[in-house]
Amino acid sequence: MSGIPTVVIAAPSSGSGKTTVTTGLIGALRSAGHRVAPFKVGPDYIDPGYHAVAAGRVGRNLDPNLVGEDLIRPLFAHGSTGADIAVVEGVMGLFDGRIVDADPAAGGPDADPIGLGSTAHVARLLGAPVVLVVDAAGHSQSIAALLHGFLSYESSVRIVGVILNRVGSPRHESVLRESCARVGLPVLGVLRRDPALTVPSRHLGLIPAAERSTDAIRAVDAMTATVGGVLDLDAIVAAARGRRHPDGPAWSAADAVGEPVETVGATAGSVQDGEPLVAVAGGAAFTFGYAEHVELLTAAGATVVGFDPLTDRLPPDTGAVVIGGGFPEEHAAELSANDRLRADISAHAMGGRPIYAECAGLLYLTRELDGHQMTGVLPLVGRFGSTLTLGYRDAVAVTGSVEFDVGTRATGHEFHRSTVEPAPSASGGPTNPAWAWRDNAGRSGTHGAVSEGVHASYLHLHPAAHPGAILRLVRRAREVARGRVAGRASEPPVPSVDSTRR
């Protein structure tokens, strides 16, 4: 038994068309009657949103950097439950991964040519075959040399076919096919140059599907029709059946958290007798999150309720709030206009009730973002800028919080163009840094803020790697529910800011 049939869609470099091909392939397989489990290599939150639209089920991430090698196959098995085929979209170029300091005892810098957390790394862990998407716009016969290099670079990665993207003319296609045949790689599909297949993007990549709603559905339908019409689906499915590793035990949120927080008289969507309620921000401004987060919260005994900070109030009797990543800078005016929710969040924090925030959530907790009034929970000011901060971070907790003890180590990911700094004439409760880490240049520093029950920083963590933090958050939410259960504030004053709204 080789496990669920699986194919990995990779490329020689970023920008080759992996997302378009993967999304179209997923949609085409679904249209053909398959139950498709979609995955994305790396920390990307956006591509899985398009995969989910195409597959009709949640898209998930596989990132050895964030969760470790040992969790990749269990998380894959969990995400594949009920499917008959899995499609994994790669990240960057096939072998591109995190560069770490070489261990001379392990054979020096050339001991493993596969980057940590790369597409090739995940394909090897899964034993899955790889199909390369090549942007053929600038290629002719030399594509054979490119493919020969990828085929011979690392024998543990099996490349079984190629999809040619942005092909110009029938003559161009003929030359490319002959060149692929020269190195023994079958062509599994040919896509012509088509601007209509381009997904709109902004400063951090593609615009999330959750923000585009009906436009995203139309884009996925177009990808499904166009890509599905040119791919050899039968050959791709046959290749996927050549996966070499059997499926092992699936990851379980219940097993990860152990015994859930005790609940009494719990019913779905309600709070009874101290049942902890955790409110998770969503909507267009907060689209970044991993599916395992809600699964772990639920397994830990919480009732999870989503809310949209653009339009909603904080749910009554909220014990804890989770605010993940997204694009608050694109929705700053609308977030500011919902002053009743801002007051709810402020009152929640002032009551000592926990808030866990990552990246966009950190910005929402500041006094202001680009001159727009935010919740004022933290005495900080957020600004959008032109410099991209990007990369994995090996962090250590430097202040104890609801979720983490001092000294806790975690690997996370930064991805933002904004900055935060102390607000002028800052007032309010004191804050301490959440994490310390070294940046890409090797400079050490402290980051984020911990204050009372608030833990906020730019660091994105994968919750499956930190189930204990989830359990601790739910326990604190239960303490709130069983102690002084506070509904949302009646109408507390809106937090003040230090500059006028633009």
Place of tokens 């859930």: 260
Where are the alpha helices (H) located in 32-156, listed in sequence order?
47-55, 64-67, 72-80, 119-126, 143-153
3-state secondary structure at position 55 = helix
Q: Are residues 312 and 423 in the same domain?
A: yes
Q: Are residues 175 and 312 in the same domain?
A: no
> Any catalytic annotation for residue 359?
yes
3-state secondary structure at position 437 = strand
The per-residue pLDDT string of the chain (502 residues; one tens digit each, 9 = 90 and over) reads 468 999 999 999 999 999 999 999 999 999 999 999 999 999 988 899 999 999 999 999 999 999 999 999 999 999 999 999 999 999 999 999 997 665 555 555 556 789 999 999 999 999 999 999 999 998 999 999 999 999 999 999 999 999 999 999 999 999 999 999 999 999 999 999 876 666 654 343 455 555 456 777 888 999 999 999 999 999 999 999 999 888 899 999 999 999 777 643 344 444 445 579 999 999 999 999 999 999 999 999 999 999 999 999 999 999 999 999 998 988 999 999 999 999 999 999 999 999 999 999 999 999 999 999 999 999 999 999 888 889 999 999 999 999 999 999 999 999 988 999 998 865 555 689 999 999 888 889 999 999 989 999 999 999 999 999 999 999 999 998 777 444 444 333 333 333 322 2
Q: Which of 88, 136, 240, 359 is catalytic?
A: 359
At residue 370, the pLDDT reads 94
At residue 163, the pLDDT reads 98
Q: Are residues 59 and 150 in the same domain?
A: yes
CA angle (405, 45, 362) in 5-degree steps: 45
pTM above 0.85, yes or no: yes
- Taken in order 309, 312, 315, 316, the sign of the CA dihedral is positive
- The answer as to whether 52 is a domain residue is yes
At residue 465, the pLDDT reads 98
3-state secondary structure 224-252: HHHHHHHECHHHHHHHHCCCCCCCCCCCC
- CA dist 287 and 26 (Å) reads 21
* Count of beta carbons in the 10 Å neighbourhood of residue 143: 24
- CA dist 373 and 376 (Å) reads 8
Q: Are residues 143 and 59 in the same domain?
A: yes
Retrieve residue 461's tokens: 């963590």
Q: In what order do the strands lie in the sheet with 355-358?
A: 303-307, 277-281, 320-323, 355-358, 454-457, 449-451
Whether the Cβ atoms of residue 76 and residue 39 lie closer than 8 Å to each other: yes
- The answer as to whether 371 is a domain residue is yes
Q: Are residues 212 and 359 in the same domain?
A: no
Residue 289 Cα distances to 89, 187, 286, 322, angstroms:
18, 36, 8, 10
- The answer as to whether 247 is a domain residue is no
Question: Phi, psi (5° rounding) for residue 417?
Answer: -115, 10
- The answer as to whether 230 is a domain residue is yes
Whether the Cβ atoms of residue 477 and residue 354 lie closer than 8 Å to each other: yes
Number of domains in the chain: 2
Q: CA dihedral in degrees (260, 262, 265, 270; nearest 10)?
A: -60
Whether the Cβ atoms of residue 397 and residue 447 lie closer than 8 Å to each other: no
Q: Are residues 47 and 96 in the same domain?
A: yes
Closest CA to 193 of 215, 216, 172, 217: 172
Closest CA to 56 of 240, 287, 225, 217: 217
DSSP annotation of 427 reads: -
Angle between helix 170-182 and 143-153 (nearest 10): 30
DSSP 277-325: EEEEE-STT--B--HHHHHHHHHTTPEEEEE-TTTPPPPTT--EEEE-B
DSSP annotation of 355 reads: E
Q: Is 403 exposed, middle or buried (0-12, 13-18, 19+ CB in 10 A)?
A: buried
- CA dist 161 and 394 (Å) reads 36
- The answer as to whether 260 is a domain residue is no
Length of the chain: 502
Whether the Cβ atoms of residue 464 and residue 289 lie closer than 8 Å to each other: no
Q: Are residues 361 and 419 in the same domain?
A: yes
Q: Are residues 476 and 345 in the same domain?
A: yes
At residue 213, the pLDDT reads 64
- The answer as to whether 460 is a domain residue is yes
At residue 41, the pLDDT reads 98
At residue 28, the pLDDT reads 97
- The answer as to whether 137 is a domain residue is yes
Pairing of β 303-307 and β 277-281: parallel
At residue 274, the pLDDT reads 57
CATH code (residue 175): 3.40.50.300
At residue 32, the pLDDT reads 97
Q: Are residues 279 and 234 in the same domain?
A: no
Q: Are residues 335 and 205 in the same domain?
A: no
CATH code (residue 385): 3.40.50.880
* Residue 294 backbone zone (phi > 0: left; psi -120 to 50: alpha; other: beta): alpha
Q: Are residues 354 and 401 in the same domain?
A: yes
- The answer as to whether 249 is a domain residue is no
At residue 500, the pLDDT reads 29
Whether the Cβ atoms of residue 128 and residue 243 lie closer than 8 Å to each other: yes
Domain with 189 in it:
6-240
Q: Are residues 11 and 99 in the same domain?
A: yes
Whether the Cβ atoms of residue 402 and residue 476 lie closer than 8 Å to each other: yes
